[in-house]
Structure 1
């Protein structure tokens, strides 16, 4: 009967896990690697709802209409994209400037999401290859110890379990993480695209008007 203990081999796990980590670290810029690890804490978050952001923008518009754009400088805004846009509006940015700012921040956010997901997708590609490496190492060890029957079992375990670990890590850990990060990125990009129009409209309404030139 096969038990959990029979499926645990530290050597095979070290070859697959360590090789995958090393391969990802060598092929990934440090900044993207740190972002990919930090992105793990977002997996449990609820999907971004753009309606809440739109409601906040409407409320900010009412404040600006009643008390002027300078009153927005004293409001507490948790969302960074909205906060940056409101700061630009308070500083007198035009509607086109605000639109460029929002699009730039959205595209930068998309690039960060894509980079984090690609790191985990790369790990999913490397894990089976490292499993094959472990299998070859186990087979080489097995052939090298053919004269010692007691050593053949351990070498064969490495050869078989390394392939198993590579397949499991790729398909049950790394690729699901990559797919969830991609899904979150698509959802956030779509929801954040909705806030561009109302922020641009607010900027157009609150932009300082140039004084009319008097004709002599």
Structure 2
């Protein structure tokens, strides 16, 4: 253990680590799309908190609050209903101003899909980082070994050169299993909780819209000339 601590500086080379990390992040970005890297890093701001841990909010409780508010105050009262999830607040505000259940359902389904995509993209980005990092490390090691043996290096100097070459594999494994994969597991768990919660609320408000919103049939106007012809005939 003493030998490890005394030589720990040998395990960290900022330039090699930076190259491996940059290559991994860029390839994961290419694999998941242009907004994935932004969403992936933005999700880190809330990774330490469970959804609704402060309020204890859940789908059943929110659906009952919606029903109670609807009975007591009508549609207008839904605008004052608060939720820790901004998606639910936006859906309720749109429901208040919705004209018919069909257009509301189309809108809310699109919003739900967009919200799920954002959640899954953040988790998927870090999953790609975890999968790509070992391959990048191995590529660096193989490339270094090819260069090492191609130059005919002195056997006495091969030890330090081999140590430098193997650092790429070490950093690939470190980025994958110590950094990226735990982040992916955490974000994937959060995404499952939020998506299930939103799906339950969306189903409930769609049922309310179908029951409460009046469907107004379109009015068909007959041109005056056509009306005269009909009467004359």
TM-score, normalising length from structure 1?
0.77
Output the CA distance in 1 between the equivalents of 2:147 and 2:128: 29
* Cα deviations by residue, 1:130-186 (Å, 9 ceiling, x for unpaired): 212221343244332614845x34321122222122122212221222232222222
Change beyond 3 A, Cα 1:18–1:193: closer
* Counterpart contact for 1:124–1:175, Cα < 8 Å: yes
**How much has 1:46 moved relative to structure 2?**
0.9
* Counterpart contact for 2:39–2:122, Cα < 8 Å: yes
2:161 to 147, 151, 155: 155
**How much has 1:35 moved relative to structure 2?**
0.8
Output the CA distance in 1 between the equivalents of 2:99 and 2:186: 37
* Counterpart contact for 1:127–1:167, Cα < 8 Å: yes
The equivalent of 1:82 in structure 2 is: 88
Is residue 27 of structure 2 the alignment partner of residue 20 of structure 1? no
**Structure 2 counterpart SS, 1:116:** helix
**How much has 1:55 moved relative to structure 2?**
3.3
* Counterpart contact for 1:16–1:162, Cα < 8 Å: yes
Change beyond 3 A, Cα 1:30–1:136: same
Q: Which structure exhibits the higher relative contact order, with contacts defined as CA atoms closer than 8 Å and separated by 6 or more residues?
A: 1
**How much has 1:7 moved relative to structure 2?**
1.8
Is residue 139 of structure 2 the alignment partner of residue 139 of structure 1? no
Mean CA deviation greater in 160-169 or 70-79? 70-79
The equivalent of 1:176 in structure 2 is: 182
**How much has 1:48 moved relative to structure 2?**
4.7
1:196 to 172, 196, 202: 202
* Cα deviations by residue, 1:172-207 (Å, 9 ceiling, x for unpaired): 221222232222222222222221343234434542
Gaps of 5+ in 2: 217-233
Is residue 36 of structure 2 the alignment partner of residue 32 of structure 1? yes
**How much has 1:76 moved relative to structure 2?**
5.1
* Counterpart contact for 1:110–1:185, Cα < 8 Å: yes
Is residue 135 of structure 2 the alignment partner of residue 129 of structure 1? yes
- How well do the aligned residues superpose, as a CA RMSD in angstroms? 3.1
Residues matched between the structures, number? 210
For the pair shown, the structure with the greater C-alpha radius of gyration is: 2
* Counterpart contact for 1:120–1:175, Cα < 8 Å: yes
